[in-house]
Structure 1
Amino acid sequence: MAGPEPENPPTLSPAVLVLDQPVTRAEVERLCERLSALARRAGPGPVTVDVGGVGRPDLAVVEALARLRLTAGRLGCRIQLRNARGELRRLLAWTGLDEALSAPAALGGVLGPERGGEAEQREEALGVEEGVEPGDPAP
C-alpha cells in the first residue's frame, strides 16, 4: 500500500527590498524593520536591496545600507545590492563599504569594477631608502 505523496515544500520567492525614493536618516529604522520582515518570511538566503530608485546617492543612503547590512547579519543572512549605479558604487568605495556590500557575479556584478577603468600605480614601499655612494652627485 503506497503512502500519500510527499508534498513539495512551497518555493519561497526571493526577498527584495526596493528603495524607490531618496533615503533619509529618519527612514533607516523603518527600512531595517522592513528588511527584518522580508528576511523572516523568505527564509535562508540573501535579501536583495534594489537601489535603482534612490536618485542621487549621499551619505544618508550609505548609512542606510550599512545599517541594513548590520540588521541582516543579526538575522543570519546578508544583503545583495541590485541596480547600483556608478555614483553609488564610487561612494561605497570611498567609505570602504564596497566589499561589505558587494554582490555576487550572478546578479551582474552589481558592485564589481566598472569597465574602462585604469590600473592603479603601485606605491613605493615605506621605510626603503635609496643607498648613496660617496662621490655621487646630488639629485
Structure 2
Amino acid sequence: MGERWQLPPTDGAAMPEDPTSPPPGLAAVVFRLPAAPRRDDLAGLCGQAERLLRDHPGQAMLVDATAVGRADLVAVEAIARMALLAGRHNRAFRLEAPAPLRDLLALTGLAGLADDPPSAGPATPAG
C-alpha cells in the first residue's frame, strides 16, 4: 500500500460533533458509501473516489459508511478498496462506520482500517 501515514497525536482539542467533518487542522475529502453497496457498483465507486482524490490533492480521505444498513462483505470490500486508493495517493485514511460494520472488519482481519481515531494536525509520513 506504499508509505504508511500516521496522524500526529492530539493536543486534547475537542472534536467536531459531526463525525463526517475532518478534525480541526486536517483537511479531508469525504466519500460517502451508499446504504446498500452492490458488488457491481464497486468499480464505479472506486472511480468516483479516485476522481475525488485527484480533484483534492493533499487532503486526507474520510470514508463515511454510516449509511450502510447491512454489514456484509461487499461493504468490507468497498472500504478495503477505498483504503488502498488512499494509500496509492499517499493520503491519510479515516473511516466512520457503524459498530456492526466495524465488527465485520475485525472478523475479516481489517480492524486496522477502523482503529485510527481522528486527530488534529496534518497527516505526515511515518519515517
TM tier, smaller: 0.5 to 0.7
Aligned partner (choices 18, 26, 39) of residue 40 of structure 2: 26
Q: Matched residues in 1 for 2:39 and 2:55: separation?
A: 25
The structure having more radius of gyration, on CA atoms, is 1
Indicate whether 1:47 and 2:79 are aligned: no
Structure with higher strand content: 2
Q: Structure 2: any 5+ residue segments left out of the alignment?
A: 1-26, 121-127
- In the other structure, the counterpart of 1:14 is 28
Q: Structure 1: any 5+ residue segments left out of the alignment?
A: 1-12, 108-139
Q: Percent identity?
A: 36
| Partner SS state of residue 59, structure 2 | coil
Q: Matched residues in 2 for 1:77 and 1:97: separation?
A: 18
Q: Matched residues in 2 for 1:78 and 1:32: separation?
A: 17
The ranges of structure 1 where at least 4 consecutive aligned residues each deviate by more than 2 angstroms after the TM superposition are 100-107
- In the other structure, the counterpart of 2:99 is 86
Is the Cα contact below 8 Å between 1:69 and 1:101 reproduced in 2? no
Q: Matched residues in 1 for 2:75 and 2:41: separation?
A: 10
Deviation at 1:14, TM superposition (A): 2.9
**Number of residue-to-residue matches in the alignment:** 95
Over the aligned positions, Cα root-mean-square deviation in angstroms equals 2.1
